[in-house]
Amino acid sequence: MNNNNLDMAKLMSMLSKMDKKDLEEGIAKANQILKSNSKEDILKHINNNNNK
């Protein structure tokens, strides 16, 4: 598995634990990640938010 597949698996795991409002925000962030050149920075930001 390459690094991108691992990132998406981690993202899908995070999304599966969210309620509807959080899921909608998570999907928006997922779209941002897919369009971004700095996926690692966005995933780091998401992970920091999930650890609060």
The model's pLDDT over 2-52, given as tens digits with 9 standing for 90+, comes to 566 678 888 788 777 778 888 888 788 778 777 876 777 777 777 887 776
* pLDDT for residue 3: 62
The pTM assigned to this predicted structure is 0.39
Contact 30, 15 (CB under 8 A): yes
* pLDDT for residue 14: 77
Q: What's the CA dihedral at 26, 10, 48, 31 to 10 degrees?
A: -30
Number of Cβ atoms within 10 Å of the Cβ of 31: 10
* pLDDT for residue 38: 76
Contact 10, 26 (CB under 8 A): no
At residue 25's C-alpha, the angle toward residues 24 and 31, to 5°, is 90
